[in-house]
Amino acid sequence: MAEPHAVVVGGGIGGLAAALALHRRGWGLTVCERAPVAEPDDLGLAVAPNALRGLDALDAGADVRARSARHGVAAIRRKDGRWIVRTGAAEAENRFGDPMRVLRRAELHSLLLRRLPEGALRTATTVSSVEPGDTRQLARVRTDSGELSADLVVVADGVRSTIRPMLFLEHPGMAYTGFTCWHAIVQRPDDHPVEFAESWGPGGVAGVLPLPGNEVYCYATGNAPAGAAAKDERAELARRLDGWHGPIPDLFAAAPPETVARSDVWHVDTPLPAYHKGRVAVLGDAAHAMAPTMGQGVGQAIEDAVVLAHHVDGSLAYVPTALQSYTDTRLPRTAALVQRSAQLAEAMQSDSAVLIGLRDTAATVAGRLAPGLLAHYVRPIDDWHPPGAG
């Protein structure tokens, strides 16, 4: 029997995870990435316990653990620095089997890419259209360098997917969350300890994630119109963070101005009718981009990849039927997480003094008086296991 062939549209972490999951099950691969060089944004990345289990299924979990910093699943302060919720890595490990792991996004991308066969990734290759095919016809993928046929096409080209609207003509597409995010990676200061934590204030949050070595990933959010920009983003951020506890303002102030990046946050808040059409599967942010409030964007893409490969394994003649099972498994879970992330974002981005007081009080009670409530809230997310895991 000829080797089944998959075309993956998008060479980000979700696309590479899907490619690796399929490669491990004997599929031939072509990964089409429109960028001339496969270099992800220089961001810090929090990898939750469920994502680590997915990476274990790809034989990449051990490398991620070796190259990452250990943190708890929740550590939240007020704007003035007082703790609201504080959990450590050991507590997270006891509850979920793993703590949160933090590393550079580029590090995870490189770990996945190195596991793919040489030549699988084609950079500077733009996919212009996809014909989904069916049980009798293979899918067809048109690119600016030629046409490809495929037993399976995986659409993993992100929240701004160009293929998603071709597959689901009536879907409204992505929507703006109402807030933007600034981020930078800076050197850890010698004179100030830096703890993993996220701080909640009026109209946004700010967080610090110590990375392996001597670096810290910093981020901050703020309500703003889509597409807005400042002449000096570091100065704009300094204005917004005036009065916040240390070391947050100082960390951003230490970043060279050109390294402080700004990204509007978009999500797919209306669920797709399905995560497949014909022989095409939609995965990751292309299917269910969510606000980053629960740190599950990458984790859900990795879950998608593992579940997709599980369902299409051994079903070459019935790929569309296998993809229906993929939709049935993934859509309810991810749609619920999109909505939960949006609801949490609404609370975190609130600038109402009354709502902020209620938010912080509720989180304090859950975190300090009844820590089991926090575990109950995140367990359905972090307790996921790959199909067939014992």
What's the pLDDT score for residue 94? 78
What's the pLDDT score for residue 84? 86
What's the pLDDT score for residue 372? 53
Radius of gyration of the chain (CA): 21
**DSSP-H helix ranges across the chain:** 13-23, 49-57, 61-66, 89-96, 105-114, 164-167, 233-240, 248-253, 285-288, 297-312, 319-348, 353-364, 371-382
Q: What is the distance in angstroms between the CA of the first residue and the CA of the last residue of the chain?
A: 31
- Sole residue written with tokens 């190259």: 67
* DSSP letter (8 states) at residue 123: S
Q: Give 238-277 as a DSSP string.
A: HHHTTTPPTTHHHHHHTS-GGG-EEEEEEE--SPPS-SEE
Residue ranges of domains in the chain: 5-70+101-174+269-347
Which pTM value belongs to this model? 0.95
What's the pLDDT score for residue 86? 82
Contacts by 253-256 with C-beta closer than 8 Å and gap 24+? 254/186, 254/187, 254/189, 255/184, 255/185, 255/186, 255/218
Token pair of 179 as six digits: 């807030």
What's the pLDDT score for residue 379? 55
Strand, coil or helix: 61? helix
* DSSP letter (8 states) at residue 365: I
> Tens-of-pLDDT digits for all 390 residues of the chain?
578 999 999 999 999 999 999 999 999 999 999 999 887 777 999 999 999 999 999 999 999 999 999 988 778 999 999 988 887 777 777 777 888 999 999 999 999 999 999 999 999 999 999 999 999 999 999 999 999 999 999 999 999 999 999 999 999 999 999 999 999 999 998 776 788 899 999 999 999 999 998 899 999 999 999 999 999 999 999 999 999 999 999 999 999 999 999 999 999 999 999 999 999 999 999 999 999 999 999 999 999 999 999 999 876 778 999 999 999 999 999 999 999 999 999 999 999 999 998 988 887 776 666 555 555 555 568 889 999 875
Token pair of 8 as six digits: 């993956």
Q: Which residues, including other chains, have CB under 8 Å from residue 66's CB and lie 6 or more apart?
A: none
How far, in Å, CA of 364 to CA of 380, rounded? 21
How far, in Å, CA of 257 to CA of 249, rounded? 13
Q: Which CATH architecture has domain 5-70+101-174+269-347?
A: 3-Layer(bba) Sandwich (3.50)
What's the pLDDT score for residue 115? 98
- Sole residue written with tokens 């943190």: 71
Instruction: Give the type of residue at 2.
Output: A
What's the pLDDT score for residue 266? 98
What's the pLDDT score for residue 39? 78
What's the pLDDT score for residue 41? 79
Q: Is 122 left (phi over 0), alpha (psi -120 to 50) or beta?
A: beta
How far, in Å, CA of 32 to CA of 125, rounded? 5
- Compute φ and ψ for 24, nearest 5 degrees: -70, -15
Burial 300-327 (b: 16+ CB within 10 A, else e): bbbbbbbbbbbbbbeeeeebbebbebbb
Token pair of 288 as six digits: 């269910």
What's the pLDDT score for residue 365? 76
274 in Cβ contact with 149 (< 8 Å): no
